[in-house]
Amino acid sequence: MKKHAQKTALIFLRPAAAKGKFDIEKYTYAELYGLVLRLSHILKTEYGVERNDIVSLYMNNSPLFIIMWLALWNLGAIPCFQNNNLAHKALVHSLSVVDSRLVFVDEECQSLFDETKDEISEKIPDLRCIYVDQKQWLKSIENPSSPTFRLDNAERDKNLLYYNPAVLIFTSGTSGLPKSAVNSWRKVFFASFFFPHAMRLSSSTNMYTAMPLYHGTASILGVLPILAHGGTLSLGTKFSLSSYWTQVRLTGANTIQYVGEVCRYLLNGPATEDEKWCHGKVRLAVGNGLRADIWTKFKERFKIPAIGEFYASSEAPFATTCYEQYGIGVGCIRNQGWLADKVLSVMYCLVKTEKDDDATLYRNEQGYCEKPRPGENAELLMHVLNPKNIKATFPGYVNNEDATYSKIVRNVFRKGDAWIRTDDLFQYDEYGCIKFVDRLGDTYRWKSENVSTTQVENCLQSHPSIDVSVVVGARVPNHEGRCGYAILQTKSRNQESNDERRKLLLELGEVVCSQLPHFARPCFVRFDIIEHTHNHKISKKRFRDPVLPFGPSNKDTVYYLNLSTKKYEPLTEEIYQGIASGSIRI
């Protein structure tokens, strides 16, 4: 900190009253450090925060989010980043599963939080909810005469192990509820000091991000590597297509952070003067999920010389990296080739899957797994370095041993070894680079969020007329990821009258819009008979990769969620083309 004391650590673009205008706030490293110490004093004396307390943040992107996070670390507490899109059952679960003692809610998130306040009071009566007035809090801690507190290093580090939790970040749960992934101190260290070297981040980097801080992309792989190397973090409140390049220009950023969806939005957006100003000034884009079909187009349009693509997850102990500048590694999550594969196999590797079932690892006659040939589908596994102590490599999920150990597979290459399943498919190319293929299991990704199919199915089946549902992800042209597509069977086995069907579709729109966050609402629904297997399970295989706009028979009626009416309405060829072109939003 002393080395960079007077350098700008953080730039924040606070939306002004006039649309598209911003108030620019800047904080040097010395100022940021002082704010952290003064807020630490408030958290300790006024709110009783102690070492090892778990404290939840239900907040939007802001300087106060980062200051509070670092202040909690200063006190030896464990911050828990809550997804501020969640409410009701999912939010109650997220707050209770981590045994949060306090939750801080900023004013921008208060209205959604208050929808769940009564449920929280009933089910978590000991949880203390603190509403944060950002202007008032910042004014208080910006006063240099305000008291400070710094926990002694020896006390903070007492009995601290490298696999202890540094921060808790939520991920999708196949049970239908979010899981809190432990991000260990070792992971934080790797993210702070090794990740920047792989991505060529340094003290001269000024990275703009508008990704939500409650996700690891912006926090663990954004804030930490930049601040650890004396760079500048430029922070937006949330992604805005209309003002994205304006914000990049205002902050003077030379690096941008993305998820794949953002790149496609920007590429589909109109050219602006601010975009042209950024040509040649933004030297690097860092993120994950940039697809091969738009990778080169994105670089060429925005004149960005290099892409730093990585693969990681909230719970994964390691990340893969691909720094692509001259065409080697387009569409890859790792482009170091076969030699790197030998070296890095101590941390992760690809393993063949069954030809007819990608969710099952292939085993040879000896019962062991095998590495794939180029072009073969394979799951990425991450190595448990000490199979006798799983938690040392993979701390897993808070208060969810079943979910933690369900990710572990043993006897992969030799008896007794242990590896972590990622539930994602990849392929080697002929050069040993690794390319992403698809997600496995009961999740899909839409609008930069992982969606649990079970959560959506449970919501749909809460309607008294729905007997059973299957939710899968559907690809839509010119859209990143997969959107929700629900197959429904009613209790009348889909024999209801037209009037009953219309009433049901109206009510389903109300149910999903009131109970699910916007990214989890099924964009399409179709009625069909859902058969069970001999052991009473539903086979989703025949429903995967759904056909649009008219279903597998090309005669089925598919319904889409009209965002303006919040009703499910018949999908026509014309409407589908509008969705594909982007003129109709889903």
**pLDDT tens digit string along 477-493?**
988 889 999 999 998 99
pLDDT > 90? residue 153: no
Cα 421 to Cα 429: distance, rounded to the nearest angstrom: 21
Whether residue 276 sits in one domain with residue 131:
yes
Which CATH number belongs to the domain containing residue 467 in this structure? 3.30.300.30
- Which strand (E) or helix (H) includes residue 54? strand 54-58
Confidence (pTM): 0.83
Retrieve residue 270's tokens: 């109109």
Q: Best-predicted range by mean pLDDT among 68-82, 166-180, 489-503?
A: 68-82
pLDDT of residue 451: 87
Retrieve residue 422's tokens: 């990622």
**Residue 564: inside a domain, yes or no?**
yes
Q: How do residues 39-97 score in pLDDT, each as one tens digit?
A: 999 999 999 999 999 999 999 999 999 999 999 999 999 999 999 999 999 999 999 99
Percentage of the chain beyond pLDDT 70 is 96
Retrieve residue 359's tokens: 């969710």
State the burial class of residue 449 (Cβ atoms within 10 Å of its Cβ: 0-12, 13-18, 19+). buried
Whether residue 206 sits in one domain with residue 102:
yes
Whether residue 240 sits in one domain with residue 121:
yes
Determine the number of helices (DSSP H) and then strands (DSSP E) in the chain.
20, 28
Q: In which domain, by residue range, is 516 found?
A: 443-581
**Residue 326: inside a domain, yes or no?**
no
List helix spans (H) across 308-359: 337-344
Whether residue 174 sits in one domain with residue 105:
yes
pLDDT > 60? residue 537: no
Q: Where are the beta strands (DSSP E) in 335-377?
A: 348-354, 357-361
**Residue 59: inside a domain, yes or no?**
yes
Domain closes at, from 297, 321, 345: 321
**Residue 200: inside a domain, yes or no?**
yes
Cα 521 to Cα 485: distance, rounded to the nearest angstrom: 9
Q: How do residues 366-389 score in pLDDT, each as one tens digit?
A: 999 999 999 888 999 999 989 999
Whether residue 447 sits in one domain with residue 428:
no
> How does strand 443-446 pair with strand 449-452?
antiparallel
> How many C-beta atoms surround the C-beta of residue 573 within 10 A?
9
Q: For residues 490 and 496, is the Cβ–Cβ distance under 8 A? A: yes
pLDDT of residue 174: 47
Cα 107 to Cα 104: distance, rounded to the nearest angstrom: 10
Domain closes at, from 289, 321, 353: 321
Mean pLDDT of 192-204: 94
**Residue 329: inside a domain, yes or no?**
no
Mean pLDDT of 128-155: 93
Return the amino acid letter for 308. Answer: G
Cβ neighbours of residue 334 closer than 8 Å, sequence gap 6 or more: 311, 320, 321, 322, 340, 344, 433, 434
Whether residue 485 sits in one domain with residue 353:
no
Going by the DSSP 8-state scheme, the letter that residue 222 receives in this structure is I
Whether residue 217 sits in one domain with residue 69:
yes
Which CATH number belongs to the domain containing residue 423 in this structure? 2.30.38.10
**Residue 330: inside a domain, yes or no?**
no
Q: How would residue 453 be classed by pLDDT, with cut points 50, 70 and 90?
A: confident
Cα 104 to Cα 82: distance, rounded to the nearest angstrom: 10
Whether residue 362 sits in one domain with residue 496:
no
Return the amino acid letter for 227. Answer: L
Domain closes at, from 439, 466, 495: 439
Whether residue 423 sits in one domain with residue 281:
no
Q: How do residues 393-444 score in pLDDT, each as one tens digit?
A: 999 999 999 999 999 999 999 999 999 999 898 999 888 889 988 777 777 8
Mean pLDDT of 113-140: 95
What is the DSSP annotation of 13-50?
A: EEE-SSTT-EEEEEEEHHHHHHHHHHHHHHHHHHH---
Averaged pLDDT score across all residues of the chain: 91
Whether residue 489 sits in one domain with residue 562:
yes
Cα 533 to Cα 535: distance, rounded to the nearest angstrom: 5
Cα 380 to Cα 143: distance, rounded to the nearest angstrom: 50
Mean pLDDT of 23-49: 97
pLDDT of residue 534: 40
**Cis peptide, bond prior to residue 305, ω within 30 of zero:** no
pLDDT of residue 340: 67
Q: Which of 145-159, 333-347, 412-426, 461-475 has the lowest mean pLDDT?
A: 333-347
Q: For residues 320 and 336, is the Cβ–Cβ distance under 8 A? A: no
pLDDT > 80? residue 221: yes
pLDDT of residue 337: 65
**Residue 115: inside a domain, yes or no?**
yes
Q: Best-predicted range by mean pLDDT among 63-67, 262-266, 269-273, 537-541?
A: 63-67
**Residue 328: inside a domain, yes or no?**
no
Mean pLDDT of 522-531: 94
List the one residue out of 148, 104, 160, 151 whose CA is nearest residue 129: 104
Mean pLDDT of 253-276: 91
Left, alpha or beta for 585 (phi > 0: left; psi -120 to 50: alpha)? beta
Per the structure, the count of domains in the chain is 3
Whether residue 435 sits in one domain with residue 475:
no
Which CATH number belongs to the domain containing residue 152 in this structure? 3.40.50.12780
pLDDT > 60? residue 359: yes
Whether residue 268 sits in one domain with residue 240:
yes
Q: Torsions phi, psi of 266, nearest 5?
A: -65, -40
